[in-house]
Amino acid sequence: MASSARRPERRQEPLSRERIVTAAVELLDTAGESGLTFRALAERLATGPGAIYWHVTGKGELLAAATDAVLGTALAEDPGASPRDAVRTLALGVFDALDVHPWVGAHLVSTESHAPTLPLFERVGRQVRALGVPESAWFTAASTLLNYILGVAGQNAANTRRAAPGTDRAAHLGGVADAWSALDPAEYAFTRSVAGQVRDHDDRAEFAAGIDLILDGITALSR
């Protein structure tokens, strides 16, 4: 026992894939998408770039792992909920995760792999099935929902990325409203007319309203 008592566990907090991914998420959250560089990551972990490459294939895998880490917590399932509520919960979970980690949206929407969106598609699809949609429309209904979620993901990511980290939501929305009000009345009549609505709107509620809108269209298919 004496020999095994000297545990080598934290020789100096050994590098691990998990530690790297955690640091990558922190870096992305604080410094933005362009802030994730192998050199910055190496400095934060008090090591060199080469060591990181021993645990991780490259930047692509690093981003994928970071995305999974963030999104995984947002996909919890609640067996008791109605299909409608389940979809809403799912969608809002993604929305909230992207609100905290704006870079996920950009990656989700522009990655070449379906891997990160597949679990989301599956969970959305199950609820679509539970809604009583005819089988022939399953795919259409599920991908419409997914596409909407991802579309908002990208847009919202762009929004929160643009807003300075310190400034609050209201100030930013006010800025957008001002910009829209200043547009050419002839060319942007509609946009100007809804500038007021954007000033004091709630993105989250708006997003949920969009989900409901699509769910209405979907349930109309069941009859």
Partner DNA sequence: GGTGATACTGGAACGGTGTTCCAGGGAAAT
Partner DNA sequence: ATTTCCCTGGAACACCGTTCCAGTATCACC
Per CB under 7 A, residues contacting DNA are: 8, 11, 14-15, 36-40, 42, 45-51, 53-55, 58-60
Q: Are 106 and 157 in contact (CB under 8 A)?
A: yes
Shortest CB 65 distance to DNA, Å = 13
Using the minimum distance from each CB to DNA, give the nearer residue, 14 or 134.
14
Shortest CB 8 distance to DNA, Å = 4
* Binding at 8: pick from DNA, a copy of itself, none (beta carbon under 5-8 Å per type): DNA
Please state the φ and ψ torsions of residue 20, each to the nearest 5 degrees: -65, -45
Shortest CB 44 distance to DNA, Å = 11
Give residues with Cβ within 8 angstroms of 99, minimum separation 6.
Answer: 156, 160, 204
Shortest CB 115 distance to DNA, Å = 17
Helices 138-162 and 83-100, packing angle to 10 deg: 30
* Binding at 38: pick from a copy of itself, DNA, none (beta carbon under 5-8 Å per type): DNA
Residue 177 to residues 135, 172, 208, 217: CA-CA distances in angstroms?
43, 9, 21, 30
Using the minimum distance from each CB to a copy of itself, give the nearer residue, 15 or 198.
198
Question: Can you give the binding site for a copy of itself, defined by CB under 8 A?
Answer: 105-106, 109-114, 118, 121-122, 125-126, 128-129, 135-136, 138-144, 146-155, 157-158, 161-162, 176, 183, 187-191, 193-194, 197-198, 201, 206, 209-210, 212-218, 220-221
Shortest CB 53 distance to DNA, Å = 4
Using the minimum distance from each CB to DNA, give the nearer residue, 64 or 145.
64
Structure tokens at 186: 């002839």
Angle at 148 between CA 105 and CA 102, to 5 degrees: 15
Measure the CA–CA gap between 133 and 218, rounded to whole angstroms: 7
* Binding at 213: pick from DNA, a copy of itself, none (beta carbon under 5-8 Å per type): a copy of itself
Measure the CA–CA gap between 218 and 46, rounded to whole angstroms: 52
Shortest CB 189 distance to a copy of itself, Å = 7
The b/e string for 80-90 (b: 16+ C-beta within 10 A; e otherwise) is: eeebbebbbbb
